[in-house]
Amino acid sequence: MKSSIKNNYLVNGKLLPCPNSPNCVSSESFPEKSTVAPLVFTSSASEAWQTLQDILLEMGGHVEEVDDSFLHATFRSRVFRFVDDVSARLDPEKTLFKSVPPPGSVILILE
């Protein structure tokens, strides 16, 4: 039986904190320097969850595992083929997420 990826990304139902690394961001962890706002939705939770999946796929991500409250996706950089992990947890009013690029890579946050 295949083990769930989910077990590697959640602890007590919450996303694992970012490692002590400047290239990780999370909407559910500290230190504050790595904290970003969660994705708040105005539609139903199920619609927002599906929209997130659609957006990740449109951006070139590969959804590795998904259920009704957890998602894990990966993105592979075009030049060096590094893998960026993205995990998300659905909350009743928002989606919390964490992105961990490989060491040495740079995160660009567009607002």
pLDDT in tens, 88-110: 999 888 888 888 766 544 444 43
Q: What is the DSSP string of 38-60?
A: -EE-SS-HHHHHHHHHHHHHHTT
- CATH number 3.90.1300.10 is the correct assignment for the domain at 5-10+25-100: no
In this prediction the pTM is 0.79
Average pLDDT (68-80) is 86
